[in-house]
Amino acid sequence: MHHAQTFPPRRRYKLNSLARQEALLPFVRLCPGRTYAHYWHMPAPSKDYPADSAYGRECAAHLLQWLKDNREYVGKGLLSRVARDIDFDDRDGRGQWMGFFNYLEIMMLLGADRVRVYRHVDSQHQLYLALGQRISLEAHFRRIRLRNR
């Protein structure tokens, strides 16, 4: 397979520090003057839409491997940070982000085919409701304990 851009080296992402793990993703960069990482720092588009799309797919594969290696952080907003930093008005970079999201859609379908989607989301609703109730109860008992001191 020939592409105008070289792909970032493939790797595993399990490290002790979450911040260090995310910074290893090929599209995440720590930038001076910014207190948090930039989650869509891509090479300049090549003007070759298929090559740019392939690069975006490759970056999505890195994200998926990162999620597999760091399961405890899944559902904590990494994809939303990526989406926040993409300039969707940048027509030249369209191939990269289209390839990225299209590949994620394909992989989501593969995962969704393995579960009963509505049953699963109902269980997530129940889980978050229970977590909210736990937090509320713990706060209530902390207030009582502080009053009794």
Per-residue pLDDT of the chain (149 residues; tens, 9 = 90+): 445 568 887 776 776 666 567 788 999 998 888 888 899 999 999 999 999 999 999 999 999 999 999 888 899 999 999 999 999 999 999 999 999 999 999 999 999 999 999 999 999 999 999 999 999 999 988 888 777 77
Cα–Cα distances in angstroms (integers) from residue 80 to residues 40, 67, 85, 101, 142, in the given order: 11, 14, 9, 12, 33
Q: Give the pLDDT score at 16.
A: 65
Per-residue DSSP letter, 4: S
pLDDT at 93: 96
Q: What burial class does residue 62 get, using C-beta atoms within 10 Å of its C-beta: 0-12 exposed, 13-18 middle, 19+ buried?
A: buried
Q: Write down the pLDDT at residue 19.
A: 57
Q: Please, are residues 117 and 109 in contact by the beta-carbon 8 Å criterion?
A: no
What is each CA distance from 109 to 3, 42, 89, 103, in whole angstroms? 26, 26, 27, 10
pLDDT of residue 134: 94
Q: Residue 92 contacts by C-beta under 8 Å, 6 or more apart in sequence?
A: 45, 47
